[in-house]
Structure 1
Amino acid sequence: MTEAVESGRDTRVHVRAPGKINVYLGVGEVMADGYHEVATAYQAVSLYEEVYASESSDFTVSFRGPVDCSGLPTDETNLALRAARLLATHTAYAGGVRLEIEKHVPIAGGMGGGSADAAAALVACDALWGTSVPREELHELAALLGADVPFALAGGTAIGTGRGEELSPALARGTFHWVLALPDAQLSTPAVYGELDRHRERHRAELAPKLAPSVDPAVLQALRAGDPRQLAEVLANDLQAAAIHLAPELAPVLETGERAGALAGLVSGSGPTVAFLAEDGDGALELQIALSASGLRALRVTGPVHGARVVG
């Protein structure tokens, strides 16, 4: 592997990886490994993390971009660095990498930005180092890093089960138009799952026993049909109530978007990003303008898009 470093290959690789929306998220009970069993329908959307990898003798990461990155770790706990080190160990690569990440996906926003960074780091380092790891092996490594990392690698539209890392591609026709409302709050994924557990415990007598979760077949039908109105009827997220309980300001955001013409809205993943589904591109533009006029940061995105890929 060290010969590849000295062979004069391109010394900088650029990889783009998408954020995601959970158009459906069912949450089951806690499994033996401490994670919850989930069934989710992921859609990768056109809000990307840009990751640049350069040759180095050690492992470093830095951040820039329109997102406030001041609180992000740059030590060995950083998920992108963990991905690079995991690939180096897996391939017996002797060098390191310098990762520069331009962040656009909200931090702790429920859109899988950190997972996108990790997926991009795997692809970038594999290309930079010339390790040529088969895609199936990259997916296995991705699953060791986090539940959403395999999907950031795959992109498109997919059903995730287990912790979310067991993927099955799902057919989605056409293009879906989304508007993302980005509240200032940040929500920790473990905190939101913990709040869901507490809610279920408090109301265990009234709630039906939670069976193994599965994605509503109507969601798959709507995606196959490419019909935003049909999909709007079946958007669902078991974490939404817990996220709103921890960040009550999300409730008026949902109301504002639906009053402004969204077909439907939901908290994405563990939040606090709120994703609104629009009829088409014109509807998304009108919705973005309305949300911005109400004082919210709002972005238009489309999906599905491809997963982590080398650019250029």
Structure 2
Amino acid sequence: MTLPGERVVVRAPAKINLALRVGALEDDGYHDVVSVYQAVSVFEEVSATLPRDGVSGVTVSVRGTGAASTPLDSSNLAVRAALLLAERAGVPADVALSIRKTAPVAGGMGGGSADAAAALLACDLLWGTGATREELVEMGAELGADVPFALVGGTALGLGRGDRLTPVLGRGEFHWVLALADEGLSTPAVYRERDRLVAAGAPAEALDPDVPAPLAQALRAGDAAALGPALVNDLQAAACSLRPSLQRVLDLGRDHDALGGLVSGSGPTVAVLVRDRSAALELAVALTASGLASDVRRVTGPVHGARQVDPVPTSPFHPSNTPPTGPIDTIR
């Protein structure tokens, strides 16, 4: 039985899109997509603690990357995840959530979705609801298209809105350099720009509900050199139209012998594929010096999905126990 003050810590990965093909605008205002996700070594961490002293409801605090712009009410995906699980399991929605963010907000890497995935698993373990991974994935799909993948991790094909997942066979480790922007891009705005470009005559291919063959072959072989030319994103032209500096990042990567690169999802994060750690360091230095990115990360993929990690020591002098920034909201 979980006692007041006990906590569970879960980490879930951010993602990049190795392929993102976008279908026509549907009557419901959405686009069907075919996406190939890869989880990379950028992790969001959610601590779920059972409140003490009769406190009820969901409280949330945030620290780290983009904490100041992360909502602290029921629009926060992690809060919505806790409330949804409590409703489905028939348990009181009493939990203190503490989120440590490392993924950019509105950066096309699914950081908010990783928060939701981590919160689902953390609250399931804290409350002892006994939800299966399949049930958590189903709930995740109700919260957002990228949430199921943050639970599963690895490399996967996503259909529909991107939430119907099939694992993609692959081998090896891939090295990426991420160029982050200091301002996010609105996903709806990027899709609207995509629709405008298509209406103006930009090519729009019919969706093939499978992993593009060159991409699948490169992943199976663990061949980074073959993977680079196979990267594709139908939203890239729209994102670069709205934020021309993204194309300059891609050009710089090409000038430094990158194997390939693309805007991740709806942007503005740019993911550049390189041969190894040495090449990643060289490109990261060049990107930092260029001033084209507010932050540069060297990461690898694929990595695992959401999983529990050991809580940090409870001593108040431990550096990981510094108070989170920002206010704490209570949602009942």
TM range (shorter): over 0.9
Structure 1 residue 37 and structure 2 residue 32: aligned? yes
Partner of 1:99: 97
Aligned twin of 1:113: 111
The one of 146, 156, 159 equivalent to 1:148 is 146
The match for 2:62 is 63
Distance 1:95 1:26, change over 3 A: closer
Q: 1:281 and 1:30, CA in 2 relative to 1: closer, same or farther beyond 3 A?
A: same
CA RMSD of aligned residues (A): 1.5
What corresponds to 2:214 in structure 1? 218
Q: What residue ranges of structure 2 are gaps of 5+ in the alignment?
A: 311-332
Please list every run of at least 4 consecutive aligned residues from structure 1 whose deviation after the TM superposition is greater than 2 angstroms.
Answer: 30-34, 206-215
Identity level (%) = 58
Cα distance per residue 1:162-219 (max 9 Å; x no partner): 000000001120100000011223101111111111111222xx74664455431111
Is the Cα contact below 8 Å between 2:187 and 2:266 reproduced in 1?
Answer: yes
CA distance in 2 between counterparts of 1:209 and 1:279 reads 30
**1:20 and 2:20 are equivalent in the alignment:** no
Q: Tell me, in whole angstroms, the C-alpha distance in 2 between the residues paired with 1:103 and 1:109.
A: 12
Look up the equivalent residue of 1:300 and give its one-letter code.
R
Q: Which amino acid aligns with 1:136?
A: E
Gap change, CA 1:289 and 1:209, over 3 Å in 2:
closer
Does the aligned pair in 2 maintain the 1:183–1:250 contact within 8 Å? no
Residue identity opposite 2:245 in structure 1: E
Unaligned runs of 5+ residues in structure 1 are: none
Q: TM-score, normalised by structure 1?
A: 0.94
Counterpart mapping for 1:1-312 below 5 A:
4-5=1-2, 8=3, 11-56=6-51, 57-65=56-64, 67-203=65-201, 207=203, 210-211=206-207, 214-295=210-291, 296=293, 297-312=295-310
CA distance in 2, matches of 1:238, 1:208: 8
**TM-score, scaled relative to structure 2:** 0.88
Moved more, 109-118 or 207-216: 207-216
1:79: how far off? 0.8
Native 8 Å contact 1:26 1:214 kept in 2: no
CA–CA distance in 1 between the matches of 2:36 and 2:90?
35
Paired residue total:
304
